[in-house]
Structure 1
Amino acid sequence: MADLTQQDWISQLTADKNAVILDVRTPEEVALGIIPNALHIDIYKGQGFIDEVKQLDTSKNYYVYCKVGGRSGQACSVMNQLGFKNTYNLIGGFTAWRGEVASI
Protein backbone atom coordinates (compact mmCIF):
# COMPACT_ATOMS: atom_id res chain seq x y z
CA MET A 1 0.00 0.00 0.00
CA ALA A 2 1.11 3.52 -0.72
CA ASP A 3 -0.42 6.73 0.59
CA LEU A 4 -0.58 9.25 -2.25
CA THR A 5 -1.39 12.95 -2.29
CA GLN A 6 -4.22 13.93 -4.59
CA GLN A 7 -1.74 15.22 -7.20
CA ASP A 8 0.33 12.00 -7.15
CA TRP A 9 -2.84 9.84 -7.11
CA ILE A 10 -4.24 11.60 -10.18
CA SER A 11 -0.99 11.61 -12.17
CA GLN A 12 -0.28 7.96 -11.41
CA LEU A 13 -3.89 6.95 -12.09
CA THR A 14 -3.94 8.83 -15.40
CA ALA A 15 -0.87 6.95 -16.64
CA ASP A 16 -2.04 3.56 -15.35
CA LYS A 17 -3.76 1.38 -17.96
CA ASN A 18 -4.40 -1.33 -15.35
CA ALA A 19 -6.20 0.88 -12.83
CA VAL A 20 -9.42 0.43 -10.88
CA ILE A 21 -10.82 3.22 -8.67
CA LEU A 22 -12.47 1.86 -5.52
CA ASP A 23 -14.77 3.91 -3.28
CA VAL A 24 -15.18 2.32 0.18
CA ARG A 25 -17.59 4.91 1.65
CA THR A 26 -21.15 4.32 2.88
CA PRO A 27 -24.09 4.59 0.45
CA GLU A 28 -25.10 7.84 2.18
CA GLU A 29 -21.65 9.33 1.49
CA VAL A 30 -21.65 8.08 -2.11
CA ALA A 31 -25.01 9.82 -2.64
CA LEU A 32 -23.12 13.14 -2.27
CA GLY A 33 -20.99 12.31 -5.31
CA ILE A 34 -18.42 9.82 -6.53
CA ILE A 35 -15.19 9.99 -8.50
CA PRO A 36 -16.14 9.05 -12.09
CA ASN A 37 -15.85 5.34 -12.98
CA ALA A 38 -15.29 4.30 -9.35
CA LEU A 39 -16.45 0.91 -8.16
CA HIS A 40 -18.28 1.14 -4.81
CA ILE A 41 -17.85 -1.43 -2.03
CA ASP A 42 -18.77 -0.19 1.47
CA ILE A 43 -16.02 -1.15 3.94
CA TYR A 44 -18.59 -1.12 6.75
CA LYS A 45 -20.13 -4.29 5.26
CA GLY A 46 -17.47 -6.21 7.21
CA GLN A 47 -17.33 -9.76 5.87
CA GLY A 48 -19.48 -8.62 2.93
CA PHE A 49 -16.71 -6.19 1.99
CA ILE A 50 -14.12 -8.98 2.11
CA ASP A 51 -16.37 -11.29 0.07
CA GLU A 52 -16.86 -8.64 -2.65
CA VAL A 53 -13.17 -7.68 -2.71
CA LYS A 54 -12.18 -11.34 -3.12
CA GLN A 55 -14.07 -11.33 -6.43
CA LEU A 56 -11.87 -8.53 -7.84
CA ASP A 57 -8.88 -9.13 -10.12
CA THR A 58 -5.74 -9.10 -7.93
CA SER A 59 -3.57 -8.26 -10.96
CA LYS A 60 -5.13 -4.78 -11.25
CA ASN A 61 -3.87 -1.63 -9.51
CA TYR A 62 -6.44 -0.28 -7.04
CA TYR A 63 -6.79 3.42 -6.26
CA VAL A 64 -8.85 3.47 -3.07
CA TYR A 65 -10.60 6.35 -1.33
CA CYS A 66 -13.09 7.08 1.43
CA LYS A 67 -14.22 10.35 3.04
CA VAL A 68 -10.88 11.46 4.55
CA GLY A 69 -8.42 8.58 4.04
CA GLY A 70 -8.70 6.39 7.14
CA ARG A 71 -11.09 3.69 5.96
CA SER A 72 -9.42 3.55 2.55
CA GLY A 73 -6.09 2.94 4.28
CA GLN A 74 -7.72 0.07 6.17
CA ALA A 75 -9.22 -1.24 2.93
CA CYS A 76 -5.79 -1.18 1.26
CA SER A 77 -4.33 -3.17 4.18
CA VAL A 78 -7.12 -5.76 3.97
CA MET A 79 -6.68 -6.00 0.21
CA ASN A 80 -2.92 -6.50 0.59
CA GLN A 81 -3.58 -9.34 3.04
CA LEU A 82 -5.90 -10.89 0.43
CA GLY A 83 -3.15 -10.90 -2.20
CA PHE A 84 -3.57 -7.54 -3.92
CA LYS A 85 -0.10 -6.26 -4.80
CA ASN A 86 -0.79 -2.64 -5.74
CA THR A 87 -3.16 -0.55 -3.64
CA TYR A 88 -2.99 3.23 -3.39
CA ASN A 89 -4.71 5.24 -0.67
CA LEU A 90 -5.89 8.79 -1.43
CA ILE A 91 -4.65 11.06 1.38
CA GLY A 92 -7.50 13.36 2.44
CA GLY A 93 -10.07 11.20 0.64
CA PHE A 94 -13.13 12.55 -1.10
CA THR A 95 -13.22 15.54 1.24
CA ALA A 96 -9.95 16.83 -0.27
CA TRP A 97 -10.82 15.76 -3.83
CA ARG A 98 -10.71 18.63 -6.33
CA GLY A 99 -11.19 16.58 -9.50
CA GLU A 100 -14.32 15.67 -11.40
CA VAL A 101 -17.31 14.36 -9.43
CA ALA A 102 -20.17 12.27 -10.80
CA SER A 103 -23.57 11.76 -9.25
CA ILE A 104 -25.24 8.43 -8.84
Structure 2
Amino acid sequence: MSIFSFLFKEQNLPDEIQIMDREEYKDAISKGKVQLVDVRTKGEFMSGHIKGAKNIDFFQGTAFESAFSKMKKDAPLYIYCQSGNRSQKAARKLVSMGFTKVYDLRGGYRSWCY
Protein backbone atom coordinates (compact mmCIF):
# COMPACT_ATOMS: atom_id res chain seq x y z
CA MET A 1 0.00 0.00 0.00
CA SER A 2 1.45 3.35 -0.98
CA ILE A 3 1.40 6.32 1.37
CA PHE A 4 -1.00 8.02 -1.06
CA SER A 5 -3.54 5.18 -0.93
CA PHE A 6 -3.17 5.00 2.85
CA LEU A 7 -3.89 8.71 3.25
CA PHE A 8 -6.88 8.63 0.92
CA LYS A 9 -8.43 5.30 1.88
CA GLU A 10 -11.84 6.90 2.43
CA GLN A 11 -12.09 7.39 -1.33
CA ASN A 12 -12.06 3.62 -1.83
CA LEU A 13 -15.12 2.96 0.31
CA PRO A 14 -18.16 1.16 -1.09
CA ASP A 15 -21.14 3.35 -2.02
CA GLU A 16 -23.07 2.04 1.00
CA ILE A 17 -20.61 3.71 3.41
CA GLN A 18 -20.49 7.44 4.06
CA ILE A 19 -18.02 9.19 6.36
CA MET A 20 -19.66 12.14 8.11
CA ASP A 21 -18.13 15.14 9.84
CA ARG A 22 -18.97 15.65 13.51
CA GLU A 23 -21.66 18.31 12.99
CA GLU A 24 -23.38 16.41 10.17
CA TYR A 25 -23.28 13.20 12.24
CA LYS A 26 -24.68 14.96 15.31
CA ASP A 27 -27.56 16.42 13.27
CA ALA A 28 -28.34 13.04 11.71
CA ILE A 29 -28.46 11.09 14.98
CA SER A 30 -30.55 13.75 16.73
CA LYS A 31 -33.49 13.33 14.33
CA GLY A 32 -35.35 10.64 16.25
CA LYS A 33 -34.67 6.98 16.89
CA VAL A 34 -31.67 5.72 14.93
CA GLN A 35 -29.47 2.64 14.94
CA LEU A 36 -26.39 4.07 16.71
CA VAL A 37 -23.55 1.69 17.53
CA ASP A 38 -20.20 2.16 19.25
CA VAL A 39 -17.88 -0.59 17.93
CA ARG A 40 -15.20 -0.04 20.61
CA THR A 41 -14.41 -2.40 23.47
CA LYS A 42 -16.58 -2.44 26.58
CA GLY A 43 -13.87 -0.63 28.55
CA GLU A 44 -13.65 2.15 25.96
CA PHE A 45 -17.44 2.41 25.89
CA MET A 46 -17.64 2.64 29.69
CA SER A 47 -15.12 5.50 29.72
CA GLY A 48 -17.53 7.61 27.65
CA HIS A 49 -19.82 7.26 24.65
CA ILE A 50 -22.41 9.09 22.57
CA LYS A 51 -25.78 9.16 24.34
CA GLY A 52 -28.10 6.46 23.02
CA ALA A 53 -25.35 4.32 21.51
CA LYS A 54 -25.36 0.56 21.81
CA ASN A 55 -21.97 -1.10 22.36
CA ILE A 56 -21.08 -3.93 19.95
CA ASP A 57 -17.35 -4.67 20.13
CA PHE A 58 -15.82 -5.12 16.66
CA PHE A 59 -13.19 -7.49 18.09
CA GLN A 60 -15.80 -9.98 19.34
CA GLY A 61 -16.11 -11.85 16.01
CA THR A 62 -19.22 -14.02 16.02
CA ALA A 63 -20.84 -11.99 18.82
CA PHE A 64 -20.37 -8.88 16.64
CA GLU A 65 -22.05 -10.59 13.68
CA SER A 66 -24.81 -12.04 15.84
CA ALA A 67 -25.68 -8.66 17.41
CA PHE A 68 -25.84 -6.92 14.03
CA SER A 69 -27.89 -9.75 12.49
CA LYS A 70 -30.78 -8.62 14.72
CA MET A 71 -30.70 -5.06 13.33
CA LYS A 72 -32.51 -3.63 10.30
CA LYS A 73 -30.23 -3.94 7.29
CA ASP A 74 -32.22 -1.50 5.13
CA ALA A 75 -32.36 1.27 7.77
CA PRO A 76 -29.51 3.78 8.23
CA LEU A 77 -26.85 2.56 10.64
CA TYR A 78 -24.58 5.03 12.44
CA ILE A 79 -21.32 3.65 13.82
CA TYR A 80 -18.17 5.02 15.40
CA CYS A 81 -15.02 3.88 17.17
CA GLN A 82 -12.20 5.74 18.93
CA SER A 83 -10.45 7.26 15.89
CA GLY A 84 -12.37 6.16 12.79
CA ASN A 85 -10.08 3.34 11.68
CA ARG A 86 -11.84 0.41 13.37
CA SER A 87 -15.29 1.70 12.40
CA GLN A 88 -14.25 1.81 8.73
CA LYS A 89 -13.29 -1.86 8.98
CA ALA A 90 -16.58 -2.56 10.76
CA ALA A 91 -18.49 -0.64 8.08
CA ARG A 92 -16.96 -2.79 5.32
CA LYS A 93 -17.91 -5.94 7.24
CA LEU A 94 -21.46 -4.66 7.76
CA VAL A 95 -21.88 -3.95 4.04
CA SER A 96 -20.74 -7.52 3.34
CA MET A 97 -23.44 -8.64 5.82
CA GLY A 98 -26.09 -6.80 3.78
CA PHE A 99 -26.38 -3.35 5.38
CA THR A 100 -27.28 -0.78 2.72
CA LYS A 101 -26.53 2.56 4.45
CA VAL A 102 -23.69 2.81 6.97
CA TYR A 103 -22.64 6.21 8.32
CA ASP A 104 -19.30 6.52 10.10
CA LEU A 105 -18.12 9.40 12.31
CA ARG A 106 -14.94 10.96 10.86
CA GLY A 107 -12.28 11.01 13.58
CA GLY A 108 -14.32 8.73 15.83
CA TYR A 109 -15.27 9.40 19.44
CA ARG A 110 -12.00 11.28 19.86
CA SER A 111 -13.45 14.05 17.67
CA TRP A 112 -16.77 14.12 19.59
CA CYS A 113 -16.94 16.96 22.12
CA TYR A 114 -20.63 17.32 22.94
TM-score when normalising by structure 2:
0.79
5+ residue gaps, structure 1, are: 100-104
Q: How many positions carry a matched residue from both structures? A: 98
Structure 2 counterpart SS, 1:48: helix
Q: Which residue of 1 aligns with 2:18?
A: 2
Which one of the candidate residues 77, 96, 114 is aligned to 1:62? 77
Task: Name which structure has the greater RCO, CA cutoff 8 Å, separation 6+.
Answer: 1
Alignment-derived partner of residue 12 in structure 1: 28
Q: Give, as a single letter, the amino acid of the residue that structure 1 aligns with 2:19.
A: D
Give distance in 2, aligned partners of 1:40 and 1:79: 15
Alignment correspondent of 2:88? 73
Q: Percent identity?
A: 27
**2:103 — aligned with what?**
88
Moved segments of 4+, more than 4 Å:
none
Aligned partner of 1:76: which letter?
A
Q: Which stretch has the larger CA shift, 4-13 or 90-99?
A: 4-13
Q: Decide whether the 8 Å contact of 1:23 with 1:39 is kept in 2.
A: yes
Displacement of 1:98 in angstroms is: 1.2
Partner Cα separation in structure 2 for residue 28 and residue 13 of structure 1 = 23
Cα separation, 1, equivalents of 2:41 and 2:73: 23
- 1:70-94 per-residue CA deviation (whole Å, 9 max, x = no partner) reads 1111111111111111110101111
Partner residue of 1:44 out of 34, 59, 67: 59
SS in 2 for 1:57: coil
> Do structure 1's residue 26 and structure 2's residue 41 form an aligned pair?
yes
Post-superposition shift, 1:60?
2.0
Choose which of 60, 68, 73 in structure 2 pairs with 1:53: 68
Q: Which one has a bigger Cα radius of gyration?
A: 2
